[in-house]
């Protein structure tokens, strides 16, 4: 805004003024937000100015109107897919990000096996959290950079496809996302809402299941903050005519036992075979159930869960995953032989110095340890090591003896392993008693009556 409070005339806008306006807590006009998003997407505004604006937006917040304009402008920075050629319901799921949060790799093939179409556009690792695209790229040959034409062909052939934001679809999010990753500007509900909803709405979906994480490994640490973000996104989805539901789920410790790209692929293969850690398996079934319910494949969530369990039991979900890997250029043999995934050269056990119960695991520190090992990025241009990560042997509530292994680091660099080990030792809190149990699913927004 100018000092008079009037929005500046189009053409008179300068990036530095938009940054100052947000820094000073003013509500930005549509013209100012469009100027920033379009200017950055076209390469006309440099990273340093957008970084400064992102930090101002994170610190000062955005109004509902600013968030809606940002989301819409990012959505229309590229093509909005028209998938009306598909008669089946088009339903997707997206998570706000966590540690060991690998459910998308189960859900896309599982939902497709149940007759839904899943046009999934995902992201890379963000901050301390892992990214679906980095996990998929751990599969030798897997191509997440399909253009819109090939994306559609894969969807036609198998009902699901998993790609990243492209130059055609949600290009603004691709650019903002990678800048936020390395500038400490992820943890804003408004920026997260615009990022997630712009790419999801570009997919041409009918419905969306949101997995909003809360706890020490989430961007929203408290349930209240997670509920605020969930409401913001559900409101945005409904405003755009999409059936939208958000599940607030626990991220106070890593999900499952594996953290790290190839390690997580290994673990989702177990889930698709009907085994795997119980928390991960239960969350996959619950999210799939909601996808089936929103997509009209199950009249109740309970029936959706039953359908999901049957599709895993029968091997159909695993078969879909194999088919999707092959269609996206990956080596489908990994489905039956996980030794074909990249493996780290060395392993290092982290042991407990005392006996007791695991009272807490500082989950963000586990994610950061994985980034330090090379499993995530510290700078935009960093490449990710798919093989490294952490295998947890003890989780919250588990009994542990002095000298017993808490977790194992899979690493390729001694120096990095040393740093990660220190962080992991600090992240485990061992006490004389176990803590009260936490629910896996905290809340559902909007609250829905089961019939």
- The catalytic residues are 94, 173, 180, 195, 199
Decide whether 114 or 123 has the Cβ nearer to ligand URA.
123
**Structure tokens that stand for 88 in this block:** 């089946």
To ligand URA, the closest distance from the beta carbon of 127 in angstroms equals 9
β-sheet bridge partners, residue 432: none
Closest to ligand URA by CB, 196 vs 201, is 196
- Report, in Å, the least distance between residue 432 CB and ligand URA: 37
Element (H, E) at 309: helix 301-313
Beta strands in 183-230 (DSSP E): 207-214
DSSP 228-250: HHHHHHHHHHHHTT-EEEEEEEE
Q: What angle do CA 371, 126, 168 make, to 5 degrees?
A: 135
**In 3-state terms, what secondary structure has residue 357?**
strand
Report the DSSP pairing between strands 207-214 and 243-250. Answer: parallel
Distance CA 32, CA 128 (A): 31
| Bond from prior residue into 446 cis (ω within 30 degrees of 0) | yes
Q: Which residues bind ligand URA (CB under 6 A)?
A: 96-97, 123, 126, 186, 191-192, 195-196
| Other CB atoms within 10 Å distance of the CB of residue 76 | 17
CA-CA distance, 443 to 69, in Å (whole number)? Answer: 28
Nearer to ligand URA, 66 or 266 (CB): 66
**CB of 121 vs ligand URA, minimal distance in Å:** 9
Question: Quick one: 143 exposed, middle or buried, by C-beta within 10 A (0-12, 13-18, 19+)?
Answer: middle
Q: Which is nearer to ligand URA, 77 or 195 (CB)?
A: 195
Closest approach of ligand URA to the CB of residue 441, in Å: 19
Least Å distance, CB 278 to ligand URA, is 25
Tell the residue number behind the tokens 């947000």, with chain if given. Answer: 22
CB contact at 8 A, 354 and 401: no
Q: For tokens 């598909």, what's the residue?
A: 86
Q: How far is the CB of 191 from ligand URA (least distance, A)?
A: 6
* Burial zone of 38 (CB within 10 Å; 0-12 exposed, 13-18 middle, 19+ buried): middle
Give least dist CB 97 to ligand URA, A. 4
DSSP state of 380: T
Nearer to ligand URA, 242 or 421 (CB): 242
Nearer to ligand URA, 125 or 374 (CB): 125
Look up residue 228 and give its two tokens.
């605020």
- Cα 138 from chain centroid (whole Å): 16
- Residue nearest to ligand URA as judged by C-beta position: 195
Tokens 């490294």, located at residue: 388
Looking at the Cβ atoms of 92 and 266, the one nearer to ligand URA is 92
């Amino acid at each position: 805004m100018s000092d008079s409070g009037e929005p500046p005339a189009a053409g008179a806008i300068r990036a530095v003024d938009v940054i100052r306006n947000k820094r000073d807590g003013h509500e930005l006009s549509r013209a100012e937000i469009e100027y920033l998003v379009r200017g950055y997407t076209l390469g006309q505004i440099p990273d340093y100015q957008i970084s400064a604006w992102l930090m101002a937006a994170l610190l000062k917040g955005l109004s509902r109107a600013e968030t809606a304009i940002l989301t819409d402008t990012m959505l229309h920075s590229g093509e909005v897919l028209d998938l009306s050629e598909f008669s089946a319901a088009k339903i997707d799921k997206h998570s706000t990000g966590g540690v060991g949060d690998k459910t998308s790799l189960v859900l896309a093939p599982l939902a497709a096996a149940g007759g839904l179409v899943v046009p999934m556009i995902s992201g890379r690792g963000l901050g301390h959290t892992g990214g679906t695209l980095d996990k998929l790229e751990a599969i030798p040959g897997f191509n997440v950079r399909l253009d819109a034409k090939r994306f559609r062909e894969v969807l036609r052939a198998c009902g699901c496809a998993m790609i990243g934001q492209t130059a055609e679809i949600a290009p603004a999010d691709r650019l903002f996302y990678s800048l936020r990753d390395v500038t400490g500007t992820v943890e804003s509900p408004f920026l997260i809402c615009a990022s997630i909803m712009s790419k999801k709405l570009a997919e041409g979906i009918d419905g969306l299941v949101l997995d909003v994480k809360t706890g020490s490994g989430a961007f929203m640490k408290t349930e209240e903050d997670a509920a605020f973000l969930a409401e913001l996104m559900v409101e945005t989805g409904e405003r755009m005519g999409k059936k939208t539901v958000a599940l607030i789920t626990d991220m106070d410790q890593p999900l499952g036992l594996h953290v790290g790209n190839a390690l997580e692929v290994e673990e989702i293969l177990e889930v698709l075979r009907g085994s795997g850690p119980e928390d991960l398996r239960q969350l996959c079934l619950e999210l799939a159930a909601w996808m089936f319910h929103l997509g009209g494949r199950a009249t109740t969530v309970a029936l959706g869960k039953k359908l999901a369990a049957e599709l895993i039991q029968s091997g159909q979900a695993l078969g879909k995953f194999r088919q999707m890997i092959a269609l996206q250029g990956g080596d489908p043999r990994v489905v039956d032989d996980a030794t074909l995934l990249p493996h780290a050269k060395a392993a290092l056990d982290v042991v407990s110095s005392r006996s007791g119960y695991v009272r807490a695991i500082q989950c963000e520190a586990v994610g950061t340890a994985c980034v330090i090992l090379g499993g995530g990025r510290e700078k935009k241009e960093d490449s990710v090591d798919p093989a490294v990560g952490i295998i947890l042997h003890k989780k919250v509530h588990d009994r542990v003896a002095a000298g017993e292994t808490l977790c194992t680091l899979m690493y390729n660099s001694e120096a990095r392993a040393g740093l990660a080990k220190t962080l992991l030792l600090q992240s485990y809190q061992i006490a004389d008693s176990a803590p009260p149990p936490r629910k896996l699913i905290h809340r559902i927004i909007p609250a829905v009556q089961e019939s």
